[in-house]
Structure 1
Amino acid sequence: MNTLETTPHDMAKADRIALVGGTGDLGLRIARALVARGAEVTALARPGSDTTALAGTGSRIAVVDFQDSLALERTLSGAACVVSAVNGLEEAVIDLQGRVLDAAVAAGVPRFVPSDYSLDFTRTRPGRNRNLDLRRRFMKRVDAAPIRATSILNGAFADLLAGQAPIVLRGPGVVIHWSSADQPLDFTTKDDVAAYTAAAALDPTTPRILRIAGDVVTPRDLATTMQGLTGRRFRLVRPGGTAVLSGMIGLARTLAPQTGAVFPAWQGMQYLRDMMEGRGKLHPLDNDRYPGLSWTGAREVLAAAGTSDAEAGGTKRHAT
């Protein structure tokens, strides 16, 4: 592990990027994508963090106490952009990320990419999605700071279509929807989000918000895709409208509040409601801003998941 030492008055270099949250799933992918683009990445990590995978990306590791504002400022000095990929609740999204923002301003860092990777929460209704409300709060804070910020919004992570998102149910051959079967839904894989974020971090001309979607599909599209992939008929099932979904969210929060969990079941349901209502729909899209990037479609994600399932099943049958 390398511990980076910085000089407070280092001049910012365009390819010098500071990364916060790099030990997480998305953060690791962003680190790899930045290094692949030739960036000089300094990844900040708290004492005691497991930075083995992060060090393997080619990033330099700066172990720093995030409570120490002067240490943070020294570590960020000379960076052209701070990229955040922190994940969590208020302690992470507001408090920790806020300390990094303040240190970046004090260090004279010109640009900041907050950890906003989501559907378009600027167009959703406050109070209906806890995690997006935290991002809304932080947006006000970063907009009040003397630094140029760019939020990257990507809809839902397409990787979740492989089974975690309660939309495509392979077993019963069902695609669930809570509004119109023709409601467009935005999906982007984590790798595609990381690649785009890396390009944006190295681009000094980014606007306040960049909106991307690796694929835009409807529930009807997903059913057709699954039928083509499996040869089975996938039925469209609408258990009720979004009002019914709201009732289920309220019940889940009462029976299993899990207030300290980042993604309890009811939080995923809140996100699904925002998608199905179309309030968080991304428009216009900025996919073409960086030539050379490729986009993974929902069909590819679903096909890969089916292959993995088949391989797992074959292994299990062989073992027994």
Structure 2
Amino acid sequence: MNKVILVAGATGDLGSKLCKELIKRGALVRAIVRAESNSASVSLLRGMGVEIIQAELSDVNSLVAACKGVCCVVSTLAGLHDVIVNAQSQLLQAAIKAGVPRFIPSDFCTDYTQLQIGDNRNFDLRKTFQSIIDQSDIRATSIFNGAFTHVLKYDIPLLNTKEQQIEYFTGKLHWRIDFTTVQDTAAYTAAAALDESTPRYLRIAGTQISPSELADVAKQLFGSNFYLKEWGAMEAFSAYISQVRQQQPEGEHELYPVWQQMQYLYSMFAAQHTIPDNDRYPGIDWQSIQSAFK
């Protein structure tokens, strides 16, 4: 009998790719979508063979019904406290009531277990949900993929194509940062969702690359030398982030305010995967940094 996997957040980039990977592996996939979900995205899912269930994440009875017969719930939801904590908690309770044995929360990010509260607001929300799920009667598995590779296309300080420089913090020139493409994260997550023996945490990295190594890659990609620029101490950067955050209280209601973007950069240099679990599921052709620019 094919396993049934329920996906929340299936209309997003990661969620839709996850559904495709699950179907490729023989799973029966259900997707919870809201009434206001993008119709084109919903049609795409339906065309893949995904069973569409329209329900609000606040409607516990509908969620319980959606979870019936499911072997694993995977959340790829994105948002602030109302989504990452409140909505996921509703989904979690529904899964427990329906007897679902396993839950993969939306923890697709840097390994926040290595970070302190306050280092990254969006990761703190995931830590809050972590404490909730760890007190529940369900087996949870968080998948940490580092940063998504495509962020390097956004001219972040780490790869500043406008100034043609690679920026790093004091003592971090050879610090290897974890990057994984959305596609590879989806493929790995699909395999994990179908695996009944997953541990509490899985850590993956399609590429681990240092600022010094990234300078060589940038030269190959863009045909010119990139200057390595040291920013200063991470402690000073953290203090600056706190100052900017205090000056922009409206950012507390935004998913990616400027100071949150800075916190993501800080996190890249504050946590890393020492031994990735890439080899747990063979057959994934891990994509390189260069693939993000094709």
Query: Shared fold by TM > 0.5?
Result: yes
**Alpha-carbon distance in 2 for matches of 1:52, 1:233:** 43
Mean CA deviation greater in 37-46 or 83-92: 37-46
Give the total of aligned pairs.
289
Number of the residue aligned with 2:268: 275
1:126 aligns with 2:117: yes
Number of the residue aligned with 1:298: 289
**Alpha-carbon distance in 1 for matches of 2:84, 2:186:** 19
1:163 aligns with 2:145: no
SS of 2:21's equivalent in the other structure is helix
Listed as ranges, the matches of 1:223-262 within 5 Å are 223-257=215-249, 258-262=251-255
SS of 1:237's equivalent in the other structure is strand
How far residue 164 of structure 1 moved from its aligned partner, in angstroms, is 4.9
Give the unaligned 5+ runs of structure 2. Answer: none
How far residue 22 of structure 1 moved from its aligned partner, in angstroms, is 1.0
Q: 1:125-169 deviations in whole A, cap 9, x for unaligned?
A: 122211111111111111111111110000000111112533111
How far residue 190 of structure 1 moved from its aligned partner, in angstroms, is 0.7
Q: 1:53-111 deviations in whole A, cap 9, x for unaligned?
A: 23313211100132221221111100110000010110000000000000000000111
Number of the residue aligned with 2:94: 103
**Alpha-carbon distance in 1 for matches of 2:76, 2:2:** 20
- Structure 2 length-normalised TM: 0.94
1:243 alignment partner AA:
E
**Alpha-carbon distance in 2 for matches of 1:163, 1:71:** 39
Residues 73 and 104 in structure 1, CA contact (< 8 A), matched pair in contact too: yes
**Alpha-carbon distance in 2 for matches of 1:201, 1:165:** 32
SS of 2:157's equivalent in the other structure is coil
1:113 aligns with 2:104: yes
- Structure 1 length-normalised TM: 0.86
- Percent identity, please: 39
Number of the residue aligned with 1:72: 63
**Alpha-carbon distance in 2 for matches of 1:24, 1:229:** 29
**Alpha-carbon distance in 2 for matches of 1:178, 1:265:** 19
Label 1:55 to 1:229 Cα distance change in 2 as closer, same or farther (>3 A): same
Which has more radius of gyration?
Answer: 1
Residues 212 and 285 in structure 1, CA contact (< 8 A), matched pair in contact too: yes
How far residue 245 of structure 1 moved from its aligned partner, in angstroms, is 1.3
Listed as ranges, the matches of 1:132-211 within 5 Å are 132-179=123-170, 180-211=172-203
Mean CA deviation greater in 231-240 or 105-114: 231-240
Listed as ranges, the matches of 1:49-88 within 5 Å are 49-57=37-45, 58=48, 59-88=50-79
SS of 1:236's equivalent in the other structure is strand
1:35 alignment partner AA:
I
Q: 1:230-273 deviations in whole A, cap 9, x for unaligned?
A: 33111101122212212331232133331111111111211211
**Alpha-carbon distance in 2 for matches of 1:14, 1:285:** 29
Residues 14 and 202 in structure 1, CA contact (< 8 A), matched pair in contact too: no
**Alpha-carbon distance in 1 for matches of 2:264, 2:159:** 16
How far residue 37 of structure 1 moved from its aligned partner, in angstroms, is 1.8
**Alpha-carbon distance in 2 for matches of 1:299, 1:45:** 34
2:30 alignment partner AA:
T
Number of the residue aligned with 1:318: none
Residues 31 and 54 in structure 1, CA contact (< 8 A), matched pair in contact too: no
Label 1:164 to 1:75 Cα distance change in 2 as closer, same or farther (>3 A): farther
